[in-house]
Each structure stands twice: as structure tokens, then as C-alpha cells.
Chain A
Amino acid sequence: MSHSTPSSSDATASPTLAAVSEQLATTVEQAARSVVAVHARDRLASTGVHWRDGLIVTTAATVRRDTNISVTVPSGTRHGATLVGRDQACDVAVLRLEGDVRLPPAALGDPAHLRPGHLVLAVARLDDSGPRVAFGAVSSVSGAWRSWKGGEYSRLLQSGLTLYPGFGGTPLVDAAGRVHGLNSGGLSRHFATTIPTPDVERLLSQLLATGYVPRGWLGAAMQAVRFPDADTRRAMGRDGGLLVVGLADGGPAARSGMLVGDILLAMDGGEVHEPGDVLDALERTAPGRTVAFTLLRGGTRVTQSVLVGERPQSTGRSRRRSA
């Protein structure tokens, strides 16, 4: 039996693919230096990224307990970590690594530069046995959006990666090794959805400051309705509004005098047509501020002031349609 060297045609036929392969493996090796395993739930670990200064970022859905959290670092040793805070709506949790463990910070990229077709990797760590990898291409990028959990993101970033069990919290890494965000398995059924790096930064700062993300809250459930008669539509200059169908007992809207049956037309002068319009406006409204609603009550246009409250912390499991 003889092991011959590759024939010369081998060497000329595939240097490019071999180079791509080497580049991907090197990218994984480098990115994995700031990727840790997070032990914050029973059974399977999840993945976290050392963002900077001993701060580990992962998805909130995989942090099922507040204490007794540990982290396996790339060298294979396990260390305690404390929960800095989490935001179920945006699916981000921040942990602080305890003790004197030095890890390089993640090499952050700007997801604005990603386009469909760019090659990307998800790099996971679940134990002390080395990094785990999924590979694919960016499938779509678009503008700001809100998830079914009520989390708001600056950009939609999805890719054709398989997020295997434990891949929640993996960094989305481009071929040059830059981290463009955190992959979450809970945001979409069909694609791997990534929480973009600028949003992770924003949430990290907020969680460091307050431990949670305060959001404006009205305590009003509403749905879009169409005015039944053409006269009203003509008189109002619009097709319909937002019918208040429920009010939280003692919630901000109820306390301020809003009534079930009111039809909301505008909030602080901006027209509202869908519940999402109110949610978007609330994102920019700090709890404690007063906003003015223009609404129809019994056929009459009235202005109703509401003192905005703070959205109660959700468990992240219930689908909310109220603001």
C-alpha cells in the first residue's frame, strides 16, 4: 500500500476551496476565544459571548435561574457568574463573570454591512470539549422590527444557519471573524434570527444601569377598527382608528380616565392606525411622562391625557397584544 502525494491537478483544481476552508476554521478558532458555555438551566447549557470587561451576553430564554449560574470558558475551566439583568422582550441576558478570568472581548462588527449571501458562522460552546459550528449565509436583512415578545430591534437580520440545541446566544460571525449579533432560537420559527450588535450594546448598557429595561405602558388592549359609515370616514378624513377593548385594572390608561369603547386616533399628535403604532411611540416614551391621545368617544373628538406607566416585567412566555 502506498500513500502518494496529491497529484498536481489536485493542487491546481481546489486551492480556492481549501483556502476558504482554512479561513473558516481560523475564524472559528479566533471567535471561539470569547465564546463561553452558560450553565443557567437544567440539562443542556447554552452559549454566551464575552462582550467586554467580564460581561457575558446570552439569550434571556436560556437563563432560567437567577442564581447558581456558571460559565465554562475556552480553556475548559468553569467559573461562577452573577446575573446582571435580563430583558425577556428582547431576549437578552447579561452575566458578570466572577473571579480573575481574562478573556478577549468579542470583535464586534457592524451588521449594517451585511448583505444577503454573505457567509456567516454560529460558534457555540456547550462544555469543555471545544467550539461547535454551524455555517450558512445571510438570508435577509431589513429595517427595524418588533418581535412577538414585544422586543424592538434596529434591524432584521436572518440567516440560513441551523441553530442546534444550545446555540441560543451564539455570536453571528462573518468570514472575517467579526461578531454581528447574538443568535436567538426564539424569535422566528423558520430562520435563525440575530439580535444585532448595536441592540445588544443598547440592552447591555440599560441592564448594567437598571437591571431591566423599563418600557412605557398604558395598560390598554386595543384593536384596529374601520368606521362603519362612509360619512364618518369622510368627516374624519381617515378609515378608522384603534378601539380600546380592554383596560388593566388600575393601569395607567384606566387611572387617567380612558374608557373601553374609546377609538384612538392620535398619540402626541402622531396618527395611530395599528397597535404597533402605539407600541412604537411608547418605546420612545419614558415611564412617568404624560402623553395626549386624540380619540373618539361617543362620536365626539376629545383629548385625553394619560400618565404613562412602566410595563410590568413579563415572563416572556405570554403573547401580549396590549400596550
Chain B
Amino acid sequence: MTGGMTDRVRDGVVQVHVAPDPRARGRHAPRRAAEASSRGAGVVWARDNGSRCLVVSNAHVVTGHAVTVVGIDGVARDGELLARDTARDLALLRVDNVPRRWQPVPPATVPLRAGSVVMAVGHPLGVAHAMTSGVVHSVGPLRAAMPLPETARTLPWLQMDVRLAPGNSGGPVVDACGHLVGVSTMIVGGLGLAIPVADVDRFVMDVHGPSHLAHGWTRAA
């Protein structure tokens, strides 16, 4: 009953590969080959009327400037890192000359409630463009006992009863209509945590500026 909707969402999801920063040496250099290349997911946030995309991911995924973005069609493009916010763990990439199939995941119009169905799309454990479903556990700051620094704990989080895995980071969380409600970011105490779409939008607006986005950019799929 959701095949068409999920296909459209997956068109707006990319893999984000980041080559190790050649300037990172000494104790900052990756210790193992597995750490040499950081991988995660990203979501097409907007697209202009040409063939440029803005892609949102996590700051902890985009750890360098040599970024390759791969769509569901297997097409790979270089991504230009526009901004990183390590406090909110977000990164914004611009990707040029992308195929028509790469379409934004439109933002949700209905507020989430505890119990609402949500789906995360990403590449958990390397399985590309996989979908994981569950419900909203709670929305708001994490409870006091959660093992996270105070500054991160008290941010608003979309807390989900959804089994995320490494590789989901930076990918979209959508509601039952396939509309963007958050960006998968971490797993704490078994809960999947996503940055609410309002915070994602604020970050993009702060970075890119409403004036940049005023003409020609669209978030409709």
C-alpha cells in the first residue's frame, strides 16, 4: 500500500562517501582502513530548476571536503561542502549536474504525535536505500539519565521506536505520507534519534540564506 510513496522517498536519498582528509595526520589520522572512508546517508532537501541539489547529512558523516554523493540510480557526483554545524550535527552539501530522478523529499505538513508511524531510509550496515519502520516514541529533549552530553541531551529530538544502524546517519525520516520529519542521527539507549525537520530547515536557512533560496529552488518532489 506504500510502494509508490516509498519509491519516491528513496529517490531523494543518497549515499555520502567522504575520503579521509589528507591534512589529517598524526593522532588525527584514521587508525584502521575501515575508518579511512566515512559513509552515511543524505537527503535531497531542495533542487533548483536546473540540475543542482542541496543535500543535507550529518556533520559526523561529512568529516572532510572530498565528498562523493551516490543516488539510488548509482550515479555518483562530487558534493561541495557548504556548511557544517557540529553542535546540531548537520552538514549541507551542494551537488551539481544531478539526474532528474534525484528529487527532494518534501517536508511534512502534519505534526507528529507519539505513536505516529515513521520510516527511516538509509544504508544500515551497508544495505543501500533500506527502509526501517516504527513509531514516534516521544518528541523533545532526552530524559536526564540518557548517556549524552547535557548540550546535546537538551536539544529537541525526534525519538523513535525504530531500529537504526550505522549507515542510517544523515538519511531522512518520513511520516506515513512520505514527507520529511527528520534526519536520522544517532542511536541512544536503543532509541533512534532524529533531528526534527524544523531544526534542519533552520540550519539550511541560516547557511544558505532565504535570499539564495527565494528563486528557482523547490522542495516539492
Chain A residues packing against B (C-beta within 8 Å): 1-4, 6-7, 9-10, 13-14, 16-18, 20-22, 24-29, 32, 43-44, 121, 126-127, 129-135, 162, 164-166
Contact = CB atoms under 8 A, between A and B. Distances in A.
B190 A132 contact: no
Contact of A1 (B8, B46, B117, B145): B46
Interface stretch (B28-36, B55-63, B136-144): B136-144
A38 to B, nearest CB: 15
Contact of A130 (B2, B134, B138): B138
A132 B138 contact: yes
A237 B116 CA distance: 61
Interface string B197-221: 0000000000000100110011111
Nearest to A23: B115
Nearest to B1: A16
B76 interface: no
Given A129-B138, A129-B141, 15 more contacts: A10-B5, A13-B3, A13-B5, A14-B176, A22-B116, A25-B116, A25-B136, A44-B143, A130-B138, A131-B114, A133-B135, A133-B138, A162-B161, A162-B190, A165-B145
A28 B4 contact: no
Contact of A133 (B5, B136, B210, B219): B136
Contacts of A29: 113-115
B213 A1 contact: yes
B135 A17 contact: no
B179 interface: yes
Given A1-B214, A126-B143, A7 B221 contact: yes
A216 B136 CA distance: 45
B155 to A, nearest CB: 14
Contacts of A132: 114, 137-138, 159
Which 6 A-B residue pairings sit nearest by Cβ, starting from the closest?
A: A28-B115, A4-B220, A21-B176, A21-B117, A25-B113, A13-B4
A28 B138 CA distance: 11
Nearest to B4: A13
Contacts of A14: 1-2, 4-5, 176-178
Contacts of B117: 17, 20-21, 24
Contacts of B177: 6, 10, 14, 17-18
Contacts of B139: 130
13 contacts: A2-B218, A6-B109, A7-B221, A14-B1, A14-B178, A21-B115, A22-B176, A24-B135, A29-B115, A121-B115, A121-B135, A127-B143, A164-B191
A133 B1 contact: no
B189 interface: yes
Interface residues of B, number: 44
Nearest to A44: B145
B175 interface: yes
B138 A1 contact: no
Of residues B106, B116, B190, which shows the largest number of chain A Cβ atoms within 10 Å of its Cβ?
B116
Contacts of A10: 5, 8, 177-178
Contact of B137 (A2, A43, A134): A134
Given A3-B219, A164-B189, A17 B143 contact: no
B196 interface: no
B110 to A, nearest CB: 8
A17 B118 CA distance: 10
Contacts of B138: 129-133
B2 A17 contact: yes
B79 interface: no
Given A2-B220, A9-B4, A16-B1, A134 B176 contact: no
Contacts of A165: 145, 189
A28 B115 CA distance: 6
A130 B140 contact: yes
Nearest to A135: B135
A13 B3 CA distance: 8
B107 interface: yes
A134 B189 CA distance: 13
B178 A134 contact: no
Nearest to B119: A17
A1 B218 contact: yes
Contacts of A44: 143, 145
B220 A3 contact: yes
A24 B107 CA distance: 21
A4 B106 contact: yes
A250 B109 CA distance: 71
Contacts of A134: 135, 137, 161
Contacts of B214: 1
